[in-house]
A and B are shown apart, each in its own frame.
Chain A
Amino acid sequence: MSDASHKPNYDFQVLGKPQPKKDALQKATGRAEYADDLNFPGMLHGKLLRSPFAHARIKRIDISKALALPGVRAIVTGKDFPDVLYGNLPKTRDYRALALDRVRYIGEEVAAVAAIDEDTAEDALDLIEVEYEELPAVFDIDAARAPGAPQLHDKAPGNVSTHSKSQFGDVEAAFATAHHVREDVFETQPIKHGMLEPHACVGIWEPYGKATLWSCKMSPYVVWRQLAMGLGVRPSDVRVIQTFIGGGFSGGKQEAMPMDFCALLLSKKTGRPVKFVHTMDEVLTIGHMRHPMRIWLRTGVDKEGRIVAQHCKLLANGGAYSSIGGLSIYLAGAMLNLPYRVANIRYDGERIYTNNGFCGALRGHTVVQICFARDSQLEMIADDLGIDPIEIRKRNAIEEGDVTANGLRIGTFAFRECIERVVNESGWRDKRGKLPKYRGIGIGCGGHLSGARLMGHSASAAEIRLQEDGTVNLTTGSTDVGQGVETVMAMIAAEVLGIETDDISYTMVDSETTPVDPGTFSSRVTLFTGHAVKRAAEDARDQIAAIAGEKLGVDPKDFIFKGREVINRKNDKQRAKLKDIVRWGSFQLGRMVTGRGAYTPAEEKIDFETGHGNLSPAYNPTACVIEVEIDPETGFVDVVGVWGADDSGTPLNPLAVKGQVIGATVMSIGQALYENLIRVDGKVMNPSLRDYKMPLATDLPKLANFRHSSIITWEPEGPFGAKEAGQSAGTAVVAAMASAIYDATGLRLTRLPMSPEDILFGLKAAEAAKK
């Protein structure tokens, strides 16, 4: 770790040291309660009936036989819900709690049963009679865009779910000056989140009370608003309580899902708590996945390989509904501006409706796809021009202080250092082009933002309450999905108050009691909520200082907070235990110390359709080198080394940062090599964790050859210099894998996953061409 040039003179007491997760032992002993672990007296079990057709009209639903089955308590269909569409972005709301008169993909929810146990609920599904009239369906983007194609939504002629078009600079003129221009097409596949905890919830809707949902939601307030919208009630009539979350990575834990609505409505009908849990094949069949894309990319460079213009036409197969697709498509275009300088950019992104499970956000969102395409192509250009692959990346690198064509204002950005680090750590200079045949090394680069500014709610808030024993209760609206929110927020508060992480209890989100928050996504929590916590702690600290000042006769400005004490910096004999000050203030003065803090980035908002504006307070560049060994007779790729680096600012909890960057890297290794949700005519062929293949412990390099470096900078926009860490590291990996396979074999793969079959037949075709 190096480069602390930006860091002010600041000695951390708590931050910057590896801190085990506060909830680790609770989880390790099996005591952490996830949604499926909740049991309430009298609880019923719900199951969802799903469409067997990719596209059909629902003509009739007869639930009478199912209702008559002993043990069945209630059944709901689309007609039981208000006739409203809900969703994420106001322009693209197209979800229903249950299908009303039409289903648009295999697996779409049509009815829901509540019964005394899961067995009975499943049996009842068999007895629900649904008469469908099959409609012509369309699965791929070309067919869906063709004239006369079946149309999925009345409001979306041509099946265009959402689009984003932008132009910055004079693109055509710039192309005209280019020394060299390349056009390539890249294709990516659908990827699932792969969290091990299936979606689950328990709903209780009291006759004279609220509709309360317990669920593993990453963004409980998004769910809260959507539930109110879809149930036709006020948000204050709904309460969402977060449980432990068994992995998220966005998707269904980000939004209200059919099971959530049905649990509540079935509870209202039965007067009983109702639990739903997806089976893993349901998780893999329903929507929520990374967008498969076809990315056409045209890039012009000057003689030195500097990019002068870039034009990207992107088509995403969005599936049957919009989800967060408007943001997905905008983001892919915006990220064309990272981590390379491109003065002239044109972007046309379209998201197309098809009769497949719908797509949305997934760790790295659409940045992973665009980085694969853009970075691969840059290396192809280097090859065309005989420029070193490292050199071309450095020549184009964005630097601190840049303002990109689309208006991103770049703060700290140790991109060149990232490249240098992975080059040195991997032994690149002795390996690239020099390894034995079928062994190769490659590099990829990428970047990510630290929390997007949204068109709607962007701000985070925190509250701190001092207890009389000197400990702290901290609440925010941010959830821990495993990344360590509760720990890093406690560390920030402890740092400010001069206490220990263990002194702080972190309350899980409950829409009734915790501060409202946009949610956990877009790598926003450490920066946005972290600021709010810092400010709340400072507020509490100032209140304590005022009380201590009165008690000790010291100017409150002279106190430092350290070792659970308040100390006069001018005379360290004047000191008191924090808890004594809190007690004195509370008992004698009636002053309860409650700190509040909030954070919102500058007022400026982003226009998703024109694409201009500073999307985030900070940006994290990354580079990754991968070494592979390929079996030339089978095409099998063995990943033997991975060296990553990113500039996540100042890592506040290095133990958690390490977990984030390696986890993100491994997810992208899966995307590069074997993960693929295979659909044939809209039917998922591999809805199991045997056939949907995620990396296993044996698929990865040994510890000695699997490294990640944090290039430490002090980001002025971040709390205590921090930036995001959970997503950037995954954005460089796929291009690095393609680059390594190229070095090993001479094959340049532009379609994901880079399967053994494609590699083997690519090798054979190359041999045949030689002859």
Chain B
Amino acid sequence: MTYLRRLPKFAYAGPTTLSEVTALVADTAPGEILLLAGGTDAILQMRRRERTPKTVVGLKGVAGLDGIAEESDGGLTIGATATLAALAASPLVRRRFGLLAEAVLQIGGVELRNVATIGGNVAGALPCADLPPALMTLGAKVKLAGPKGARWVALDEFFPEFSRTAAQPNEILAAIGLPKPAPGSAGTYLKFHDRHSMDMTVVGVAAFVTWDAKKKAVAEVRLAYANSAPTVMRARQAEAVLKGQAPSDDALAACAEEACKETKPRTSWRANGAYRLELIRALTKRAIRRACEKAQARPGDAP
């Protein structure tokens, strides 16, 4: 049993460009390098000796890695080291990707958000992370940069198993891309925890819907979950149950039941699996309802 210790001994590298970072990472053994962005998780992992890198590569000084930029097609590219505070403060994010801003503000407090980064929250590959569900339902892809260049991977496919990502050992997460949201779409993220703030998520549910005003129905829906399976996950069968339906109580109940079947929440000292399932059931319905209300509140809105 390890008590919280001082940091382990490591060498420090402070690259200033992304190519320097990829060069530092290239051909290193697993665990040899630690990429330090905000550090809110990584510092603790080192203090608990869960990670003892030879070299810490600090990302705070990498030029341009923290950008938040609109693309010509209306999509958004967010650099991996953009802080949660920067996301929450970005008018672009608040106006066009409200779901992301909403999820960001449910993480930690001011001090943590001032340093924690979107890349850290995603690349940690933890099932309890709050941004991946929101980003998944927004249709995010992640940009992986390696010595041979960059590639994009859908976030849905980024978490093959608990605490692991689809990145190759010499690749680093450089950016997150979000497509332009469809007109009449909106989402919400509901995080359940025991207090009002600061807690680890017991269950998190992101719902993103595209509203068909003519049919008064859900044209498209995406659902994603934190702490409901070994990885953050989409619930595609549950989405299929609701797609094209009016969000009646029965339709929402059927969708939520399907989500309960698809997810596999675990029992731990934090919460029982059975309780998490109840949360999934309740919060799925609530999140979809709220997303529909939001989408209807901005009919025909071309974001």
Mutual binders A and B: yes
Stretch among B31-39, B213-221, B235-243, B276-284 lining the A interface:
B276-284
B230-270 interface bits toward A, Cβ cutoff 8 Å, 1 = contact, 0 = none: 00000000000000000000000000000000000000011
A279 to B6: give the CA distance in the assembly, Å. Answer: 10
Q: Which of A282, A678, A680, A686 contacts B3 (CB 8 A)?
A: A282
A686-703 interface bits toward B, Cβ cutoff 8 Å, 1 = contact, 0 = none: 100011010110110000
Please, how many residues of chain B have a CB less than 8 angstroms from a CB on the other chain? 24
B184-215 interface bits toward A, Cβ cutoff 8 Å, 1 = contact, 0 = none: 00000000101111111000000000000000
| In the complex with contacts A119-B6, A636-B192, A698-B197, A106-B272 CB distance below 8 A | no
Q: Which of B195, B197, B278 contacts A760 (CB 8 A)?
A: B278
| In the complex with contacts A634-B279, A696-B197, A757-B271 CB distance below 8 A | yes
Q: Which of A678, A696, A764 contacts B269 (CB 8 A)?
A: A678
A695 to B192: give the CA distance in the assembly, Å. Answer: 16
Name the A residues within 8 Å of B198 (CB-CB). Answer: 690, 696
Query: Are B196 and A698 in touch, CB under 8 angstroms?
Result: yes
**Does B4 reach chain A (CB closer than 8 Å)?**
yes
Closest CB in chain B relative to A247 CB, distance in Å: 19
**Does A280 reach chain B (CB closer than 8 Å)?**
yes
Name the B residues within 8 Å of A674 (CB-CB). Answer: 194-195
Query: Are A760 and B275 in touch, CB under 8 angstroms?
Result: yes
Please, how many residues of chain A have a CB less than 8 angstroms from a CB on the other chain? 34
A764 to B275: give the CA distance in the assembly, Å. Answer: 11
Name the A residues within 8 Å of B200 (CB-CB). Answer: 690-691
**Does B5 reach chain A (CB closer than 8 Å)?**
yes
Closest CB in chain B relative to A194 CB, distance in Å: 14
Query: Are A285 and B269 in touch, CB under 8 angstroms?
Result: no
Name the A residues within 8 Å of B4 (CB-CB). Answer: 279-282
Closest CB in chain A relative to B273 CB, distance in Å: 11
| In the complex with contacts A674-B194, A760-B278, A633-B286 CB distance below 8 A | yes
Query: Are B272 and A757 in touch, CB under 8 angstroms?
Result: yes
Name the A residues within 8 Å of B282 (CB-CB). Answer: 633-634
Q: Which of B1, B5, B272, B279 contacts A52 (CB 8 A)?
A: B1
A691 to B278: give the CA distance in the assembly, Å. Answer: 22
Closest CB in chain B relative to A673 CB, distance in Å: 8
Nearest CB in chain B to that of A122: its residue: B5
A276 to B194: give the CA distance in the assembly, Å. Answer: 34
Name the B residues within 8 Å of A119 (CB-CB). Answer: 6, 9
Name the A residues within 8 Å of B194 (CB-CB). Answer: 673-674, 693, 755-756
Closest CB in chain A relative to B167 CB, distance in Å: 27
A690 to B197: give the CA distance in the assembly, Å. Answer: 10
Query: Are B196 and A696 in touch, CB under 8 angstroms?
Result: yes
A699 to B194: give the CA distance in the assembly, Å. Answer: 10
Nearest CB in chain A to that of B275: its residue: A757
Nearest CB in chain A to that of B47: its residue: A279
Q: Which of B1, B271, B286 contacts A106 (CB 8 A)?
A: B1
A674 to B199: give the CA distance in the assembly, Å. Answer: 11
Closest CB in chain A relative to B24 CB, distance in Å: 25
Nearest CB in chain A to that of B192: its residue: A634
| In the complex with contacts A634-B283, A757-B271, A760-B275, A699-B1 CB distance below 8 A | no
A282 to B270: give the CA distance in the assembly, Å. Answer: 20
| In the complex with contacts A696-B196, A760-B278, A680-B6 CB distance below 8 A | no
A765 to B200: give the CA distance in the assembly, Å. Answer: 28
Name the A residues within 8 Å of B192 (CB-CB). Answer: 634, 636
Name the B residues within 8 Å of A4 (CB-CB). Answer: none
Nearest CB in chain B to that of A632: its residue: B282
**Does A541 reach chain B (CB closer than 8 Å)?**
no
**Does A143 reach chain B (CB closer than 8 Å)?**
no
Nearest CB in chain B to that of A121: its residue: B6
Query: Are B275 and A761 in touch, CB under 8 angstroms?
Result: yes
A673 to B283: give the CA distance in the assembly, Å. Answer: 21
**Does A683 reach chain B (CB closer than 8 Å)?**
yes
Closest CB in chain A relative to B226 CB, distance in Å: 15
Query: Are B3 and A281 in touch, CB under 8 angstroms?
Result: yes
A271-284 interface bits toward B, Cβ cutoff 8 Å, 1 = contact, 0 = none: 00000000111100
Name the A residues within 8 Å of B270 (CB-CB). Answer: 691
**Does A685 reach chain B (CB closer than 8 Å)?**
yes
Nearest CB in chain A to that of B5: its residue: A122
Name the B residues within 8 Å of A693 (CB-CB). Answer: 194-195, 199
Name the A residues within 8 Å of B283 (CB-CB). Answer: 633-634
Name the A residues within 8 Å of B1 (CB-CB). Answer: 50, 52, 106, 683
Nearest CB in chain B to that of A688: its residue: B4
Query: Are A279 and B195 in touch, CB under 8 angstroms?
Result: no
Name the A residues within 8 Å of B286 (CB-CB). Answer: 633
A674 to B192: give the CA distance in the assembly, Å. Answer: 14
Contacting A at CB under 8 A, from B138-182, are none
Query: Are A696 and B195 in touch, CB under 8 angstroms?
Result: yes
Name the B residues within 8 Å of A122 (CB-CB). Answer: 5-6
A673 to B3: give the CA distance in the assembly, Å. Answer: 27
Query: Are B199 and A285 in touch, CB under 8 angstroms?
Result: no
Closest CB in chain B relative to A214 CB, distance in Å: 23
**Does A503 reach chain B (CB closer than 8 Å)?**
no
A696 to B109: give the CA distance in the assembly, Å. Answer: 11
**Does A118 reach chain B (CB closer than 8 Å)?**
yes
Closest CB in chain A relative to B169 CB, distance in Å: 29
Query: Are A699 and B6 in touch, CB under 8 angstroms?
Result: no
Contacting B at CB under 8 A, from A667-687, are 673-674, 678, 680, 683, 685-686
A754-771 interface bits toward B, Cβ cutoff 8 Å, 1 = contact, 0 = none: 011100110010000000
Contacting B at CB under 8 A, from A113-168, are 118-119, 122
Name the B residues within 8 Å of A279 (CB-CB). Answer: 3-5
A551 to B133: give the CA distance in the assembly, Å. Answer: 84
Closest CB in chain A relative to B204 CB, distance in Å: 13
Name the A residues within 8 Å of B195 (CB-CB). Answer: 674, 693, 695-696, 698-699
Closest CB in chain B relative to A176 CB, distance in Å: 44
Nearest CB in chain B to that of A285: its residue: B3
Closest CB in chain B relative to A159 CB, distance in Å: 25
B1-25 interface bits toward A, Cβ cutoff 8 Å, 1 = contact, 0 = none: 1011110010000000000000000
Q: Which of B3, B5, B199, B278 contacts A50 (CB 8 A)?
A: B3
Name the B residues within 8 Å of A764 (CB-CB). Answer: 278
Name the B residues within 8 Å of A757 (CB-CB). Answer: 271-272, 275
A755 to B270: give the CA distance in the assembly, Å. Answer: 11
Nearest CB in chain B to that of A685: its residue: B269
Closest CB in chain A relative to B260 CB, distance in Å: 14
Closest CB in chain A relative to B141 CB, distance in Å: 31
User: Besides A106-B1, A118-B6, A634-B192, 11 other CB < 8 A contacts?
Assistant: A50-B3, A52-B1, A279-B4, A282-B4, A634-B279, A636-B192, A674-B195, A685-B269, A691-B200, A699-B196, A757-B275
User: Could you name 27 residue pairs across A and B whose Cβ atoms are closer than 8 Å?
Assistant: A50-B1, A119-B9, A279-B3, A280-B4, A281-B3, A281-B4, A285-B3, A633-B286, A634-B278, A634-B283, A683-B1, A685-B269, A686-B269, A690-B198, A690-B199, A691-B200, A693-B195, A695-B195, A696-B195, A698-B197, A699-B195, A699-B196, A699-B197, A755-B194, A756-B194, A761-B278, A764-B278
By a beta-carbon cutoff of 8 Å, the part of chain A in contact with chain B is 50, 52, 106, 118-119, 122, 279-282, 285, 633-634, 636, 673-674, 678, 680, 683, 685-686, 690-691, 693, 695-696, 698-699, 755-757, 760-761, 764
Which 4 pairs, one residue from A and one from B, show the smallest C-beta to C-beta distance? A633-B282, A698-B196, A757-B275, A279-B4
